[in-house]
Amino acid sequence: MISNFKDLGVSDGIIKAMKEMGWTEPTPVQAESIPTGLTGCDMFAQAQTGTGKTGAYGSIALGLTKPGRKDPSVLVLVPTRELANQIYDEMYKLSKYTGHRSAVVYGGVGIEKQIGKLRKGTDIVIATPGRLKDLIGRNEANLSRISMVVLDEADRMLDMGFAKDLNFILGRVPSGRQTLLFSATMSPDVKKLADRMLKTPKDVIVSKDEVTAGLIKQSYIGVTKDTKQKELRMILDSGVSKTIVFCKTKRRVNQLSRNLASDYRVGAIHGDVAQNKRERTVKEFKAGTIEVLIATDIAARGLDIEGVDCAVNYDMPNDPETYMHRIGRTGRAGRDGMSVTFVLDEEKRDFMLVEKHVGMKIPVLDVRSARYEGSAAAKGVSGRNPIS
């Protein structure tokens, strides 16, 4: 595989920005998709968050479009505001030397500022479907010059009920455009969307091994409802600093964060937490002011938080895809991380599906492992609860 950006066709200005971002070599998804995308063809890429996919389509977009137009050339559609902001930050850095301007639009905040930004002119628009539809309805988003559309986390957009909005928006973009679809999974719905929106696409599939096993040390613990919190505290006390804990409901997020708040610096995010509060919490987590972030799936979706040590599935994810998304918070490109899944007796079967999906047997959390050793071993944690 090609191991430098220049040979993939990335221009010098972008490479210079990448160097400043600390990127020295392409991730597998970048190596696979950049040369293909730069030929101008449509693409279906199966890749999770954490694989470097933003850098992949960002390089393609910056490479194929000229900066300085009044109306945007590139449209990136994403499911959540958090992901939109994260992509905006990354595009801002990547385009430092190319001169492309980006604007980000999403719901839940005032629309006026966003309108102002669009009126000033932008090359790239990063948008959640609902807000963009609103802006189109007000005649504030002119998509007639779009030459590239990126559907990022397409599976999640469909899960969140954006299918109609996507149809509406894509109906207003020139049909001769290039379309790049990124999805963590290849569900029948995603396949249908791809069939409708893509023209003779090239497939890019980054193998699961490359995405997970290499970078994330996955493990599990057999638990009961009563031992979950004790086990979590054990992990938190073992010296892992930045930890994301996933719960299945807003209520459980609130409950757990209340319980932990006296002993740890905890932040909670879920759908009922106001957008600006969520953003502040993520900032504090990034800065290290908060050490434990407790979240539901939707809220944590697409968050780009660097240097996450550990993802804990306090409640089992609903399906293997969600599992992949959750543990994708750690082990980000070039760095390693760990994940621990709490498994109740009655969840063993679901957990086996997860193992099947990741293509490996996930080991029980090893108390002797480098990270966990410290205080856990010292406290005499032994009799783990392996699943037979």
- Interface residues with ligand AMP (CB under 6 A) are 23, 26-27, 30, 49-55, 90, 304, 306, 332-334
And the tokens for 297?
Answer: 């799936």
The CB density around residue 38, as the number of other CB atoms within 10 Å, is: 16
The answer to whether residues 244 and 293 touch, using CB atoms and an 8 Å cutoff, is yes
- Taking the least distance from each CB to ligand AMP, the nearer of 171 and 334 is 334
- Taking the least distance from each CB to ligand AMP, the nearer of 49 and 98 is 49
Q: How far is the CB of 87 from ligand AMP (least distance, A)?
A: 8
Q: How far is the CB of 20 from ligand AMP (least distance, A)?
A: 12
- What are the start-end ranges of the E strands in 223-370? 243-246, 266-269, 292-295, 310-313, 337-343
Angle, CA 142 vertex, CA 140 and CA 144 arms, to 5°: 165
- Taking the least distance from each CB to ligand AMP, the nearer of 226 and 306 is 306
Q: How far is the CB of 26 from ligand AMP (least distance, A)?
A: 5
Q: How far is the CB of 283 from ligand AMP (least distance, A)?
A: 15
- Taking the least distance from each CB to ligand AMP, the nearer of 141 and 211 is 211
CA distance 210 to 81: 27
List, in order, residues 6 or more apart from 298 with CB less than 8 Å away.
80, 160, 270, 271
The β-bridge partners of 337 are 216
Q: 254-292 as b/e, with b when 16 or more CB fall inside 10 Å? A: bebbeebeeebebbbbbeebeeeebbbbbeebbeeebbb
Radius of gyration of the chain (CA): 21
- Taking the least distance from each CB to ligand AMP, the nearer of 223 and 311 is 311
Say how many CA atoms lie within 13 Å of 267 toward its Cβ: 24
- Taking the least distance from each CB to ligand AMP, the nearer of 30 and 147 is 30
Sheet with strand 216-222: strands edge to edge:
216-222, 337-343, 310-313, 243-246, 292-295, 266-269
- Taking the least distance from each CB to ligand AMP, the nearer of 151 and 333 is 333
Q: How far is the CB of 47 from ligand AMP (least distance, A)?
A: 7
Q: How far is the CB of 204 from ligand AMP (least distance, A)?
A: 14
Q: How far is the CB of 214 from ligand AMP (least distance, A)?
A: 14
The β-bridge partners of 246 are 295, 313
Q: How far is the CB of 93 from ligand AMP (least distance, A)?
A: 8
And the tokens for 113?
Answer: 């500022």
CA distance 45 to 359: 20
- Taking the least distance from each CB to ligand AMP, the nearer of 270 and 301 is 301
- Taking the least distance from each CB to ligand AMP, the nearer of 5 and 264 is 5
Q: How far is the CB of 333 from ligand AMP (least distance, A)?
A: 3
